[in-house]
Amino acid sequence: MESVLIIDAKSLTVEDTLAVALDGRKVSLAEEARNRVKKSRMVLEKLIDSGKVMYGVNTGFGRFAEIIIPKQEIKELQQNIVLSHAAGVGEPLPDEIVRAVLLLKANSLASGYSGVRPVVIDTLIKMLNAGIYPIIPSKGSVGASGDLAPLAHMTLAALGLENVRVEGKKISAEKALSKAGIVPLELQAKEGLALLNGTQVMTAVGVLALHQAETLFLSGDIIGAMSVEALSGSLVPFDPRIHAARGQRGQIVVAANMRSLLQDSEILAKRPVSRVQEPYSLRCIPQVHGADRDALAYVRSILEREINGATDNPLIFVEDEEVLSGGNFHGEPLAIALDLLGIAASSLGGISERRIAKLMDTNMSGLPGFLATKQGLNSGFMLAQVTAAALVSENKVLAHPSSVDSIPTSANQEDYVSMGMTAATKALKILDNTEKIMAVELLCSSQGINLRHPLKPSPVLRKVHSSFRKIVPPLNGDRFLAPDIEKAALFIHSKNLIGFLPHDIQIN
């Protein structure tokens, strides 16, 4: 059994987050962090007692920041911000993302910059460990002041209000908390604001998107190599001297992958010398896949910093006994990174579709048109390529960056926002589309390899092909292709391909 994850707002990793989100790993708060949180709370209460005016602690919110709230109404103020801000709409986020949200919010509060009591963090952790998941709508965040609406829905559940999901069933939060022996939170000064301010929802979506992307981008090299085999391509474009001359890291790694995957191929050894240069979709696999990989590495670096960041406002600095109002809740770092993730995934899908198109064209491939066994009577993969083309064009629309957009809110107090949550959810849609595009390429390249018989692909790709053929048989006549595409997509999604890559040249 996996050990309990101890969170301290310093050492949480992407892999830790995925272990909680996908595998349900249990969580606990580090004692060092608990002590830090207690000290922060003591400083905040001291400042409240001194009569110091602090945004969101004893003032209104947003444009109401100039209105001072009497001390006897501070608790009501914190309850009101949760109720008024829970205005999200759209499909609820899935449980795995909600688990990540609870973890990331607890970890951020554990930094000791937010001034909450330890019981606030404990309640989130208890809900997470008990499998009580707030129903968080997917729409309503503009990415500053953080994910206000989604996090308000999360907080409602911790207060025993609204509904939650337990074991896939919707029940009242009050009933779920009671059954688990968890006392609903009663918010005190600043705690409502601290729970709502932050980037934890867009970060949670981003971490799950990164996980899917890393599997997909690694799989892309293998699927691309299979298309090189099916199209009887050249090994020359993968010569290490070419890539060393440019020096781009991702490109060098992908070229090394291609050489390893295609080594000792009978198909390529017997290729007719009919093309002086390969089409870009084959020749430039290292340049395109490599750039996509480099983009992914940047996205990971941003997420790794954000999951341990303090994204609340205002922040309490214990040593100085100061409360400073800033803008760490602004999602621009994530918005730009997740836009880049969507663009990179769209690029990967785009070049994949071009290889599919080459496989359809008998003049380019030397194979039967549309890879059909009986041309005319059978249409082969004709419409599978059309589906891939449709998804590529949809991705082009979705890949328009959200981070260049902004719409003023809160009577122009919040006048430049990040749209980071939109970037995150768009990235997931693009990744799902790209996974289906690459599933079509896997089907077509596998068919092409079958049609090259008796020549065999490389030993590595022979194993890949054999493994895939246990899931989807060759297309010996027209059949219902949608289930084949779904099976191929699941084959990719389940990491069946990446085990065939040499471990020493994989990258995150």
Say if residues 174 and 127 touch (Cβ distance below 8 Å): no
Q: Which residues pair with 172 in a beta bridge?
A: 163
Q: What DSSP designation does 374 have?
A: S
Lowest average pLDDT, out of 60-74, 103-117, 417-431, 455-469, goes to 60-74
Say if residues 201 and 150 touch (Cβ distance below 8 Å): yes
CATH 1.20.200.10 location in the chain: 205-505
End-to-end CA distance of the chain: 26
Which has the closest alpha carbon to 434: 352, 339, 501? 352
Show the tokens assigned to 449.
């390899």
Banded model confidence at residue 507, pLDDT cuts 50, 70, 90: low
322 membership: H or E segment, kind and range: strand 322-324
Show the tokens assigned to 185.
């939170």
Is 284 a residue whose pLDDT tops 60?
yes
User: Who wins on pLDDT, 439 or 2?
Assistant: 439
Which has the closest alpha carbon to 227: 346, 383, 351, 347? 351
CA distance 226 to 125: 46
Is 504 a residue whose pLDDT tops 70?
no
HEC string of 110-170 equals CCCCCCCCHHHHHHHHHHHHHCCEECCEEECCCCCCCCHHHHHHHHHHHCCCCEEEECCEE
Banded model confidence at residue 503, pLDDT cuts 50, 70, 90: low
Q: So what's the pLDDT on residue 274?
A: 66
Is 64 a residue whose pLDDT tops 90?
no
Indicate the SS3 state at residue 95: helix
CA distance 212 to 439: 14
- Right CATH for 5-198 from 1.10.275.10, 3.40.50.1700, 3.40.1350.10, 3.20.20.140: 1.10.275.10
Say if residues 155 and 197 touch (Cβ distance below 8 Å): no
Q: So what's the pLDDT on residue 505?
A: 63
Exposure string of 401-412, with b = 16+ CB inside 10 Å and e = fewer, is bbbeebeebbee
Q: So what's the pLDDT on residue 1?
A: 55
Residues 104-116, mean pLDDT to the nearest whole number: 98
Per residue in 367-410, pLDDT tens? 999 999 998 899 999 999 999 999 999 999 999 999 999 999 98
User: Who wins on pLDDT, 22 or 71?
Assistant: 22
- Give how far Cα 181 sits from Cα of 126, 129, 174, 389, Å: 9, 12, 11, 53
Q: So what's the pLDDT on residue 61?
A: 81
Residues 401-428, mean pLDDT to the nearest whole number: 95
User: Catalytic residue positions?
Assistant: 55
Say if residues 109 and 116 touch (Cβ distance below 8 Å): yes
Is 481 a residue whose pLDDT tops 80?
yes
Exposure string of 223-258, with b = 16+ CB inside 10 Å and e = fewer, is bbbbbbbbbbbbeebbeeebbeeeebebbbbbbbbb
One-letter amino acid of 470: K
Is 63 a residue whose pLDDT tops 90?
no
Say if residues 344 and 427 touch (Cβ distance below 8 Å): no
Residues ≥6 apart with Cβ < 8 Å to 282: 224, 227, 228, 231, 233, 234, 237, 355, 358
Q: What is the pTM of this model?
A: 0.96
Residues 188-199, mean pLDDT to the nearest whole number: 96
Banded model confidence at residue 506, pLDDT cuts 50, 70, 90: low
CA distance 499 to 368: 31
Banded model confidence at residue 435, pLDDT cuts 50, 70, 90: very high
User: Who wins on pLDDT, 508 or 376?
Assistant: 376
HEC string of 32-89 equals HHHHHHHHHHHHHHHHHHCCCCCCCCCECCHHHHHCECCHHHHHHHHHHHHHHHCCCE
Exposure string of 193-203, with b = 16+ CB inside 10 Å and e = fewer, is bbbbbbbbbbb
Task: Write the DSSP string, 207-227.
Answer: HHHHHHHHHHHHHHHHHHHHH
Is 206 a residue whose pLDDT tops 70?
yes
Q: What percent of the chain has pLDDT over 70?
A: 98
Banded model confidence at residue 88, pLDDT cuts 50, 70, 90: very high
CA distance 397 to 430: 10
Q: Is 446 exposed, middle or buried (0-12, 13-18, 19+ CB in 10 A)?
A: buried
CA distance 399 to 237: 29
Give the count of beta carbons closer than 10 Å to the beta carbon of residue 208: 23
User: Tokens 């048109």 correspond to what residue?
Assistant: 369
The CATH code belonging to domain 205-505 is 1.20.200.10
Per residue in 30-53, pLDDT tens? 999 999 999 999 999 999 999 898
Q: So what's the pLDDT on residue 411?
A: 85
The angle at the Cα of 38, spanning 32 to 43, to the nearest 5 degrees, equals 130
Per residue in 303-356, pLDDT tens? 999 999 999 999 999 999 999 999 999 999 999 999 999 999 999 999 999 999
User: Tokens 């409360």 correspond to what residue?
Assistant: 323
CATH 1.10.275.10 location in the chain: 5-198
Banded model confidence at residue 15, pLDDT cuts 50, 70, 90: very high
Lowest average pLDDT, out of 129-143, 259-273, 323-337, 423-437, goes to 259-273
Phi, then psi, of 494 in degrees rounded to 5: -85, 10
